[in-house]
Amino acid sequence: MSQSRLKSNCLNFYELLAQAVALISPTMTAALIIPVMYSNTGDWSWLSYALGTVMLLFVAYNLNQFARRSTTSGSMYAYTCRGLGVTAGAVSGWALIWAYLGISMAGVTGFSIFADTLLGMISVHVPFILLFGLCVFVGWYCAWKNVQLSAMLMLILEGISMSFILVLCIIVLFQHDFALDRAQFTVATLPWSSIGLGVVVAIFSLVGFECATAFGDEAKRPLKTIPRAVSLSLVIAGAFFVFVTYVEVMGVRGYATSLDKIDAPLNVLATLAHVPALQAILSLGAMVSFFALCLSCINAGGRVIYAMGRHGLFHAATADSHQKNETPHVAVTLMALLAFGVPAGAIIGGVAPLDCFNYVGTCAAFGFIVAYGLVTVAAPAYLKGLGEMTGRDVAACAAALVLLAVPAVGSVYPVPDPPVNYFPYLFLVYMAVGVGWIFAFYRRRPTAVAVVQADLDRIHSSYRDTPAVTMAGS
Protein backbone atom coordinates (compact mmCIF):
# COMPACT_ATOMS: atom_id res chain seq x y z
CA MET A 1 0.00 0.00 0.00
CA SER A 2 1.58 3.29 -1.11
CA GLN A 3 1.97 5.95 1.61
CA SER A 4 2.48 8.90 -0.77
CA ARG A 5 0.24 11.91 -0.25
CA LEU A 6 -1.32 14.64 -2.32
CA LYS A 7 -1.44 18.27 -1.23
CA SER A 8 -4.20 18.42 1.36
CA ASN A 9 -6.70 21.18 2.13
CA CYS A 10 -5.87 23.24 -0.97
CA LEU A 11 -9.00 23.31 -3.15
CA ASN A 12 -11.93 25.46 -2.08
CA PHE A 13 -15.53 25.09 -3.22
CA TYR A 14 -15.16 27.37 -6.24
CA GLU A 15 -12.06 25.52 -7.44
CA LEU A 16 -13.85 22.18 -7.12
CA LEU A 17 -16.84 23.63 -8.96
CA ALA A 18 -14.50 24.86 -11.70
CA GLN A 19 -13.11 21.35 -12.16
CA ALA A 20 -16.60 19.91 -12.59
CA VAL A 21 -17.95 22.65 -14.86
CA ALA A 22 -14.82 22.51 -17.00
CA LEU A 23 -15.24 18.75 -17.47
CA ILE A 24 -18.89 19.16 -18.45
CA SER A 25 -17.63 21.92 -20.79
CA PRO A 26 -20.75 24.02 -21.45
CA THR A 27 -18.90 25.78 -24.27
CA MET A 28 -18.43 22.48 -26.10
CA THR A 29 -22.17 21.89 -26.19
CA ALA A 30 -22.96 25.46 -27.22
CA ALA A 31 -20.32 25.41 -29.97
CA LEU A 32 -20.73 21.93 -31.43
CA ILE A 33 -23.44 19.75 -29.86
CA ILE A 34 -26.65 21.81 -29.98
CA PRO A 35 -26.99 21.33 -33.78
CA VAL A 36 -26.86 17.56 -33.15
CA MET A 37 -29.61 17.93 -30.56
CA TYR A 38 -31.70 20.00 -33.00
CA SER A 39 -31.44 17.28 -35.64
CA ASN A 40 -33.22 14.96 -33.20
CA THR A 41 -35.75 17.11 -31.38
CA GLY A 42 -36.10 20.32 -33.40
CA ASP A 43 -37.79 23.24 -31.65
CA TRP A 44 -38.14 21.24 -28.44
CA SER A 45 -34.40 20.72 -28.00
CA TRP A 46 -34.37 22.79 -24.80
CA LEU A 47 -36.74 20.28 -23.21
CA SER A 48 -34.31 17.41 -23.75
CA TYR A 49 -31.62 19.29 -21.84
CA ALA A 50 -34.06 20.05 -19.02
CA LEU A 51 -35.08 16.38 -18.78
CA GLY A 52 -31.45 15.21 -18.97
CA THR A 53 -30.51 17.51 -16.10
CA VAL A 54 -33.34 16.22 -13.90
CA MET A 55 -32.39 12.63 -14.70
CA LEU A 56 -28.76 13.10 -13.70
CA LEU A 57 -29.77 14.87 -10.50
CA PHE A 58 -31.02 11.45 -9.36
CA VAL A 59 -27.54 10.04 -10.01
CA ALA A 60 -26.01 13.00 -8.14
CA TYR A 61 -28.34 12.30 -5.20
CA ASN A 62 -27.02 8.73 -4.94
CA LEU A 63 -23.41 9.82 -5.40
CA ASN A 64 -23.75 12.42 -2.66
CA GLN A 65 -24.88 9.76 -0.18
CA PHE A 66 -21.20 8.82 -0.14
CA ALA A 67 -19.71 12.28 -0.60
CA ARG A 68 -21.49 13.64 2.51
CA ARG A 69 -20.00 10.89 4.68
CA SER A 70 -16.41 10.27 3.53
CA THR A 71 -14.00 11.05 0.74
CA THR A 72 -10.59 10.27 -0.67
CA SER A 73 -8.72 10.65 -3.95
CA GLY A 74 -10.55 9.07 -6.88
CA SER A 75 -13.68 8.79 -4.79
CA MET A 76 -16.09 7.33 -7.39
CA TYR A 77 -13.88 4.24 -7.38
CA ALA A 78 -13.70 4.20 -3.59
CA TYR A 79 -17.43 4.81 -3.19
CA THR A 80 -18.33 1.81 -5.32
CA CYS A 81 -15.86 -0.30 -3.34
CA ARG A 82 -17.62 0.76 -0.14
CA GLY A 83 -21.07 -0.22 -1.41
CA LEU A 84 -20.52 -3.20 -3.71
CA GLY A 85 -17.10 -4.51 -2.81
CA VAL A 86 -13.57 -4.03 -4.05
CA THR A 87 -14.01 -5.90 -7.34
CA ALA A 88 -17.02 -3.81 -8.42
CA GLY A 89 -15.12 -0.70 -7.38
CA ALA A 90 -12.16 -1.68 -9.53
CA VAL A 91 -14.50 -2.20 -12.50
CA SER A 92 -15.96 1.25 -11.87
CA GLY A 93 -12.50 2.79 -11.77
CA TRP A 94 -11.53 1.03 -14.99
CA ALA A 95 -14.65 2.43 -16.69
CA LEU A 96 -13.95 5.94 -15.35
CA ILE A 97 -10.42 5.91 -16.78
CA TRP A 98 -11.89 5.13 -20.21
CA ALA A 99 -14.42 7.94 -19.79
CA TYR A 100 -11.92 10.58 -18.70
CA LEU A 101 -9.48 9.57 -21.42
CA GLY A 102 -12.16 9.88 -24.09
CA ILE A 103 -13.26 13.31 -22.92
CA SER A 104 -9.65 14.49 -22.60
CA MET A 105 -9.16 13.56 -26.26
CA ALA A 106 -12.34 15.47 -27.15
CA GLY A 107 -10.78 18.46 -25.41
CA VAL A 108 -7.56 18.08 -27.40
CA THR A 109 -9.34 17.83 -30.75
CA GLY A 110 -11.82 20.61 -29.90
CA PHE A 111 -8.97 22.93 -28.87
CA SER A 112 -7.17 22.23 -32.13
CA ILE A 113 -10.26 22.72 -34.30
CA PHE A 114 -10.89 26.20 -32.89
CA ALA A 115 -7.18 27.07 -32.82
CA ASP A 116 -7.06 26.19 -36.51
CA THR A 117 -10.10 28.42 -37.11
CA LEU A 118 -8.45 31.33 -35.34
CA LEU A 119 -5.15 30.86 -37.15
CA GLY A 120 -7.05 30.64 -40.44
CA MET A 121 -8.37 34.15 -39.85
CA ILE A 122 -4.81 35.41 -40.26
CA SER A 123 -3.97 32.91 -43.04
CA VAL A 124 -1.70 30.76 -40.87
CA HIS A 125 -1.82 26.97 -40.92
CA VAL A 126 -0.26 24.76 -38.26
CA PRO A 127 -0.40 20.93 -38.48
CA PHE A 128 -3.02 19.49 -36.18
CA ILE A 129 -0.51 17.20 -34.47
CA LEU A 130 1.44 20.26 -33.31
CA LEU A 131 -1.75 21.82 -31.96
CA PHE A 132 -2.51 18.55 -30.16
CA GLY A 133 0.97 18.62 -28.65
CA LEU A 134 0.62 22.23 -27.49
CA CYS A 135 -2.71 21.58 -25.77
CA VAL A 136 -1.56 18.40 -24.02
CA PHE A 137 1.85 19.74 -23.00
CA VAL A 138 0.48 22.88 -21.36
CA GLY A 139 -2.31 20.84 -19.74
CA TRP A 140 0.18 18.26 -18.46
CA TYR A 141 2.44 20.96 -17.03
CA CYS A 142 -0.42 22.58 -15.12
CA ALA A 143 -1.59 19.19 -13.77
CA TRP A 144 1.98 18.21 -12.87
CA LYS A 145 2.88 21.52 -11.28
CA ASN A 146 -0.02 22.56 -9.08
CA VAL A 147 -3.63 21.45 -8.75
CA GLN A 148 -4.63 24.94 -7.57
CA LEU A 149 -3.07 26.46 -10.69
CA SER A 150 -5.10 24.03 -12.76
CA ALA A 151 -8.33 24.83 -10.93
CA MET A 152 -7.93 28.60 -11.08
CA LEU A 153 -7.01 28.45 -14.75
CA MET A 154 -10.12 26.41 -15.52
CA LEU A 155 -12.31 28.74 -13.46
CA ILE A 156 -11.06 31.74 -15.41
CA LEU A 157 -11.06 30.16 -18.88
CA GLU A 158 -14.47 28.49 -18.73
CA GLY A 159 -15.96 31.51 -16.96
CA ILE A 160 -14.77 33.88 -19.69
CA SER A 161 -15.98 31.59 -22.46
CA MET A 162 -19.45 31.13 -20.94
CA SER A 163 -19.70 34.88 -20.32
CA PHE A 164 -19.09 35.72 -23.98
CA ILE A 165 -21.71 33.18 -25.05
CA LEU A 166 -24.23 34.67 -22.62
CA VAL A 167 -23.45 38.17 -23.92
CA LEU A 168 -24.21 37.00 -27.46
CA CYS A 169 -27.45 35.40 -26.27
CA ILE A 170 -28.56 38.61 -24.54
CA ILE A 171 -27.82 40.57 -27.73
CA VAL A 172 -29.94 38.12 -29.74
CA LEU A 173 -32.82 38.36 -27.25
CA PHE A 174 -32.59 42.16 -27.26
CA GLN A 175 -32.80 42.25 -31.05
CA HIS A 176 -35.92 40.09 -30.82
CA ASP A 177 -37.38 42.49 -28.21
CA PHE A 178 -37.19 39.68 -25.65
CA ALA A 179 -40.33 38.23 -27.22
CA LEU A 180 -41.22 34.63 -26.46
CA ASP A 181 -40.43 32.22 -29.31
CA ARG A 182 -43.81 30.47 -29.21
CA ALA A 183 -42.73 27.86 -31.77
CA GLN A 184 -40.55 26.28 -29.11
CA PHE A 185 -43.56 25.74 -26.86
CA THR A 186 -46.13 24.52 -29.38
CA VAL A 187 -47.21 21.15 -28.01
CA ALA A 188 -48.52 20.04 -31.40
CA THR A 189 -44.93 19.98 -32.71
CA LEU A 190 -43.49 18.05 -29.77
CA PRO A 191 -41.54 15.12 -31.32
CA TRP A 192 -42.62 12.42 -28.87
CA SER A 193 -40.84 9.63 -30.75
CA SER A 194 -37.43 11.30 -30.63
CA ILE A 195 -37.41 12.91 -27.19
CA GLY A 196 -35.66 9.80 -25.85
CA LEU A 197 -32.82 10.21 -28.34
CA GLY A 198 -32.64 13.88 -27.43
CA VAL A 199 -32.24 12.96 -23.77
CA VAL A 200 -29.37 10.65 -24.76
CA VAL A 201 -27.57 13.61 -26.35
CA ALA A 202 -28.36 15.77 -23.30
CA ILE A 203 -26.98 13.27 -20.82
CA PHE A 204 -23.83 12.81 -22.86
CA SER A 205 -23.44 16.61 -22.82
CA LEU A 206 -23.76 16.71 -19.02
CA VAL A 207 -21.40 13.91 -17.96
CA GLY A 208 -18.46 14.97 -15.84
CA PHE A 209 -20.35 16.60 -12.98
CA GLU A 210 -19.04 13.89 -10.65
CA CYS A 211 -15.37 14.73 -11.11
CA ALA A 212 -15.19 16.89 -7.96
CA THR A 213 -15.25 13.60 -6.01
CA ALA A 214 -11.84 12.71 -7.48
CA PHE A 215 -10.20 15.46 -5.38
CA GLY A 216 -11.21 14.19 -1.95
CA ASP A 217 -7.68 14.29 -0.53
CA GLU A 218 -7.13 17.87 -1.70
CA ALA A 219 -10.46 19.56 -0.96
CA LYS A 220 -11.12 21.96 1.87
CA ARG A 221 -14.11 20.91 4.02
CA PRO A 222 -14.69 18.01 1.60
CA LEU A 223 -17.90 16.63 3.10
CA LYS A 224 -19.52 20.00 2.46
CA THR A 225 -17.80 21.36 -0.64
CA ILE A 226 -17.71 18.21 -2.78
CA PRO A 227 -21.45 17.39 -2.63
CA ARG A 228 -22.25 21.05 -3.35
CA ALA A 229 -19.88 21.09 -6.33
CA VAL A 230 -21.39 17.87 -7.72
CA SER A 231 -24.98 19.16 -7.59
CA LEU A 232 -24.36 22.80 -8.47
CA SER A 233 -22.17 22.04 -11.49
CA LEU A 234 -25.00 19.96 -12.90
CA VAL A 235 -27.60 22.66 -12.23
CA ILE A 236 -25.42 25.42 -13.72
CA ALA A 237 -24.61 23.44 -16.86
CA GLY A 238 -28.19 22.25 -17.33
CA ALA A 239 -29.63 25.77 -16.99
CA PHE A 240 -26.98 27.11 -19.38
CA PHE A 241 -27.80 24.43 -21.97
CA VAL A 242 -31.55 25.08 -21.80
CA PHE A 243 -31.08 28.85 -22.20
CA VAL A 244 -28.45 28.76 -24.96
CA THR A 245 -30.35 26.09 -26.89
CA TYR A 246 -33.51 28.21 -26.77
CA VAL A 247 -31.61 31.26 -28.05
CA GLU A 248 -29.74 29.41 -30.80
CA VAL A 249 -32.95 27.85 -32.13
CA MET A 250 -34.70 31.23 -32.09
CA GLY A 251 -31.71 33.17 -33.44
CA VAL A 252 -31.20 31.12 -36.61
CA ARG A 253 -34.89 30.74 -37.43
CA GLY A 254 -35.41 31.78 -41.06
CA TYR A 255 -31.70 31.42 -41.90
CA ALA A 256 -30.89 29.78 -45.23
CA THR A 257 -29.26 26.83 -43.46
CA SER A 258 -31.12 24.98 -40.69
CA LEU A 259 -29.46 24.68 -37.30
CA ASP A 260 -28.74 20.97 -37.68
CA LYS A 261 -26.63 21.70 -40.77
CA ILE A 262 -24.56 24.49 -39.18
CA ASP A 263 -21.04 23.53 -38.05
CA ALA A 264 -20.33 26.76 -36.10
CA PRO A 265 -23.67 27.93 -34.66
CA LEU A 266 -22.19 30.63 -32.43
CA ASN A 267 -20.39 32.29 -35.33
CA VAL A 268 -23.54 32.19 -37.45
CA LEU A 269 -25.52 33.61 -34.54
CA ALA A 270 -23.01 36.45 -34.17
CA THR A 271 -23.31 37.26 -37.88
CA LEU A 272 -27.12 37.24 -37.80
CA ALA A 273 -27.06 39.44 -34.67
CA HIS A 274 -24.86 41.94 -36.55
CA VAL A 275 -21.91 41.50 -34.17
CA PRO A 276 -19.42 39.65 -36.40
CA ALA A 277 -16.60 41.01 -34.25
CA LEU A 278 -17.64 38.43 -31.65
CA GLN A 279 -16.72 35.57 -33.97
CA ALA A 280 -13.01 35.67 -33.17
CA ILE A 281 -13.73 36.18 -29.46
CA LEU A 282 -16.14 33.24 -29.39
CA SER A 283 -13.68 31.01 -31.23
CA LEU A 284 -10.97 32.01 -28.75
CA GLY A 285 -13.34 31.29 -25.87
CA ALA A 286 -14.17 27.88 -27.31
CA MET A 287 -10.49 27.09 -27.80
CA VAL A 288 -9.51 27.87 -24.21
CA SER A 289 -12.62 26.07 -22.93
CA PHE A 290 -11.58 22.89 -24.72
CA PHE A 291 -8.12 23.27 -23.21
CA ALA A 292 -9.76 23.50 -19.77
CA LEU A 293 -11.72 20.35 -20.59
CA CYS A 294 -8.54 18.47 -21.45
CA LEU A 295 -6.83 19.71 -18.27
CA SER A 296 -9.78 18.76 -16.07
CA CYS A 297 -9.80 15.21 -17.45
CA ILE A 298 -6.05 14.80 -17.01
CA ASN A 299 -6.46 15.87 -13.38
CA ALA A 300 -9.53 13.74 -12.62
CA GLY A 301 -8.41 10.65 -14.51
CA GLY A 302 -4.95 10.88 -13.01
CA ARG A 303 -6.42 10.74 -9.53
CA VAL A 304 -8.47 7.64 -10.32
CA ILE A 305 -5.30 5.94 -11.58
CA TYR A 306 -3.45 7.17 -8.49
CA ALA A 307 -6.12 5.77 -6.15
CA MET A 308 -6.15 2.39 -7.87
CA GLY A 309 -2.35 2.36 -7.96
CA ARG A 310 -2.28 2.87 -4.17
CA HIS A 311 -4.25 -0.36 -3.86
CA GLY A 312 -1.88 -2.26 -6.14
CA LEU A 313 -4.17 -2.51 -9.19
CA PHE A 314 -1.63 -0.62 -11.31
CA HIS A 315 2.15 -0.35 -11.18
CA ALA A 316 3.39 1.13 -7.92
CA ALA A 317 4.81 4.15 -9.78
CA THR A 318 1.28 5.37 -10.56
CA ALA A 319 0.72 5.84 -6.81
CA ASP A 320 3.69 8.18 -6.45
CA SER A 321 3.15 11.85 -5.67
CA HIS A 322 5.67 14.51 -6.64
CA GLN A 323 7.83 15.32 -3.65
CA LYS A 324 7.60 19.11 -4.12
CA ASN A 325 4.37 19.65 -6.07
CA GLU A 326 2.36 16.98 -4.22
CA THR A 327 0.57 15.97 -7.41
CA PRO A 328 0.12 12.44 -8.85
CA HIS A 329 2.79 13.21 -11.43
CA VAL A 330 3.16 9.72 -12.92
CA ALA A 331 -0.59 9.20 -13.27
CA VAL A 332 -1.22 12.59 -14.92
CA THR A 333 1.74 12.02 -17.24
CA LEU A 334 0.22 8.71 -18.33
CA MET A 335 -3.14 10.42 -18.95
CA ALA A 336 -1.45 13.16 -20.97
CA LEU A 337 0.49 10.72 -23.15
CA LEU A 338 -2.67 8.80 -24.03
CA ALA A 339 -4.64 12.03 -24.57
CA PHE A 340 -2.09 13.00 -27.22
CA GLY A 341 -1.24 9.61 -28.70
CA VAL A 342 -4.71 8.39 -29.69
CA PRO A 343 -5.93 11.49 -31.59
CA ALA A 344 -2.48 11.92 -33.13
CA GLY A 345 -2.64 8.35 -34.41
CA ALA A 346 -6.15 8.97 -35.74
CA ILE A 347 -5.03 12.06 -37.65
CA ILE A 348 -2.07 10.18 -39.12
CA GLY A 349 -4.54 7.46 -40.13
CA GLY A 350 -6.61 9.98 -42.09
CA VAL A 351 -9.45 10.67 -39.63
CA ALA A 352 -10.71 14.27 -39.81
CA PRO A 353 -10.33 16.24 -36.55
CA LEU A 354 -14.10 16.83 -36.18
CA ASP A 355 -14.79 13.13 -36.77
CA CYS A 356 -12.16 12.26 -34.18
CA PHE A 357 -13.86 14.63 -31.74
CA ASN A 358 -17.22 12.93 -32.28
CA TYR A 359 -15.77 9.41 -32.04
CA VAL A 360 -13.85 9.84 -28.78
CA GLY A 361 -16.75 11.69 -27.15
CA THR A 362 -19.17 8.92 -28.12
CA CYS A 363 -16.83 6.22 -26.80
CA ALA A 364 -16.34 8.05 -23.50
CA ALA A 365 -20.06 8.00 -22.79
CA PHE A 366 -20.07 4.21 -22.28
CA GLY A 367 -17.58 4.52 -19.42
CA PHE A 368 -19.68 7.14 -17.66
CA ILE A 369 -22.85 5.04 -17.94
CA VAL A 370 -21.15 2.02 -16.32
CA ALA A 371 -19.59 4.10 -13.51
CA TYR A 372 -22.83 5.98 -12.81
CA GLY A 373 -24.82 2.75 -12.78
CA LEU A 374 -22.45 1.05 -10.33
CA VAL A 375 -22.29 3.94 -7.87
CA THR A 376 -26.08 4.28 -8.03
CA VAL A 377 -26.54 0.62 -7.04
CA ALA A 378 -23.80 0.98 -4.43
CA ALA A 379 -25.54 3.85 -2.60
CA PRO A 380 -28.45 1.95 -0.97
CA ALA A 381 -26.18 -1.02 -0.26
CA TYR A 382 -23.77 1.33 1.50
CA LEU A 383 -26.57 2.99 3.48
CA LYS A 384 -27.99 -0.39 4.45
CA GLY A 385 -24.62 -1.39 5.86
CA LEU A 386 -24.67 1.78 7.98
CA GLY A 387 -28.24 1.10 9.09
CA GLU A 388 -29.37 4.38 7.49
CA MET A 389 -31.23 3.23 4.36
CA THR A 390 -34.74 4.60 3.83
CA GLY A 391 -37.46 3.98 1.28
CA ARG A 392 -36.58 7.27 -0.38
CA ASP A 393 -33.02 6.05 -0.96
CA VAL A 394 -34.27 2.87 -2.64
CA ALA A 395 -36.68 4.89 -4.79
CA ALA A 396 -33.90 7.30 -5.82
CA CYS A 397 -31.70 4.37 -6.82
CA ALA A 398 -34.48 2.74 -8.86
CA ALA A 399 -35.34 6.02 -10.58
CA ALA A 400 -31.72 6.70 -11.46
CA LEU A 401 -31.27 3.21 -12.93
CA VAL A 402 -34.41 3.49 -15.04
CA LEU A 403 -33.31 6.89 -16.30
CA LEU A 404 -29.77 5.68 -17.02
CA ALA A 405 -31.30 2.96 -19.19
CA VAL A 406 -32.38 5.68 -21.62
CA PRO A 407 -28.85 6.65 -22.75
CA ALA A 408 -27.63 3.05 -22.37
CA VAL A 409 -30.21 1.76 -24.86
CA GLY A 410 -30.24 4.90 -26.99
CA SER A 411 -26.50 4.69 -27.62
CA VAL A 412 -26.82 1.30 -29.33
CA TYR A 413 -30.39 1.23 -30.70
CA PRO A 414 -31.32 2.15 -33.35
CA VAL A 415 -27.98 0.84 -34.60
CA PRO A 416 -25.84 3.85 -35.62
CA ASP A 417 -23.89 4.08 -38.86
CA PRO A 418 -20.30 2.77 -39.12
CA PRO A 419 -17.87 3.17 -37.50
CA VAL A 420 -19.94 4.27 -34.48
CA ASN A 421 -21.80 0.95 -34.45
CA TYR A 422 -18.52 -0.80 -33.60
CA PHE A 423 -17.73 1.40 -30.57
CA PRO A 424 -19.82 -0.58 -28.04
CA TYR A 425 -17.85 -3.70 -28.96
CA LEU A 426 -14.58 -1.80 -28.58
CA PHE A 427 -15.69 -0.71 -25.11
CA LEU A 428 -16.71 -4.27 -24.20
CA VAL A 429 -13.27 -5.54 -25.23
CA TYR A 430 -11.65 -2.85 -23.08
CA MET A 431 -13.85 -3.80 -20.12
CA ALA A 432 -13.16 -7.51 -20.62
CA VAL A 433 -9.42 -6.81 -20.51
CA GLY A 434 -9.92 -4.78 -17.34
CA VAL A 435 -12.04 -7.39 -15.61
CA GLY A 436 -9.49 -10.07 -16.54
CA TRP A 437 -6.67 -7.92 -15.16
CA ILE A 438 -8.58 -7.28 -11.92
CA PHE A 439 -9.38 -10.94 -11.27
CA ALA A 440 -5.83 -11.99 -12.15
CA PHE A 441 -4.51 -9.44 -9.65
CA TYR A 442 -6.70 -10.79 -6.86
CA ARG A 443 -5.63 -14.36 -7.66
CA ARG A 444 -1.98 -13.33 -7.45
CA ARG A 445 -2.57 -11.45 -4.20
CA PRO A 446 -5.45 -13.13 -2.36
CA THR A 447 -5.00 -10.83 0.65
CA ALA A 448 -5.38 -7.67 -1.47
CA VAL A 449 -9.15 -7.43 -1.05
CA ALA A 450 -8.87 -7.40 2.73
CA VAL A 451 -6.05 -4.83 2.60
CA VAL A 452 -8.01 -2.51 0.31
CA GLN A 453 -11.16 -2.88 2.38
CA ALA A 454 -9.24 -2.13 5.55
CA ASP A 455 -7.79 1.02 3.98
CA LEU A 456 -11.25 2.22 2.91
CA ASP A 457 -12.67 1.41 6.35
CA ARG A 458 -9.89 3.42 7.95
CA ILE A 459 -10.63 6.44 5.75
CA HIS A 460 -14.36 6.14 6.35
CA SER A 461 -13.91 5.82 10.10
CA SER A 462 -11.69 8.89 10.22
CA TYR A 463 -14.63 10.97 9.00
CA ARG A 464 -17.23 9.26 11.18
CA ASP A 465 -15.03 9.83 14.22
CA THR A 466 -14.55 13.51 13.37
CA PRO A 467 -16.99 15.95 15.00
CA ALA A 468 -19.77 16.98 12.62
CA VAL A 469 -18.92 20.65 12.90
CA THR A 470 -15.41 19.93 11.57
CA MET A 471 -16.62 17.70 8.75
CA ALA A 472 -19.08 20.29 7.58
CA GLY A 473 -16.47 23.00 7.78
CA SER A 474 -18.70 25.23 9.90
Q: What is the CATH number of the domain that holds 154?
A: 1.20.1740.10
* Domains held by the chain: number: 1
Cα Dmax for the chain: 69
Structure confidence at residue 470 (pLDDT): 37
* Residue 41 belongs to a domain: yes
- What confidence tens digit (pLDDT) does each residue in 84-124 have? 999 999 999 999 999 999 999 999 999 999 999 999 989 99
* Residue 5 belongs to a domain: no
Structure confidence at residue 326 (pLDDT): 94
The phi and psi torsions of 146 (rounded to 5 degrees) equal -165, 120
Structure confidence at residue 2 (pLDDT): 54
* Residue 7 belongs to a domain: no
Measure the CA angle with vertex 305, ends 89 and 93; round to 5°: 25
The b/e string for 446-458 (b: 16+ C-beta within 10 A; e otherwise) is eebbeebbebbee
Which are the contacts of 306, defined by CB distance < 8 A and separation ≥ 6?
Answer: 6, 73, 74, 318, 319, 321, 328, 331
Cβ–Cβ < 8 Å for 60, 324: no
Structure confidence at residue 340 (pLDDT): 98
- What confidence tens digit (pLDDT) does each residue in 356-396 have? 998 999 899 899 999 999 999 999 999 999 999 999 999 99
Tell me which residue range forms the domain holding 120: 13-409+441-472
The answer for 230, left when phi > 0, alpha when psi is -120 to 50, beta otherwise, is alpha
* Residue 269 belongs to a domain: yes
* Residue 425 belongs to a domain: no
* Residue 295 belongs to a domain: yes
Q: Name residues of the chain where pLDDT drops below 50.
A: 467-474
* Residue 4 belongs to a domain: no
pTM (two decimals):
0.91
The phi and psi torsions of 11 (rounded to 5 degrees) equal -110, 120
Structure confidence at residue 472 (pLDDT): 36
* Residue 42 belongs to a domain: yes
* Spatial separation of the C-alpha atoms in residues 272 and 117, rounded to whole Å: 19
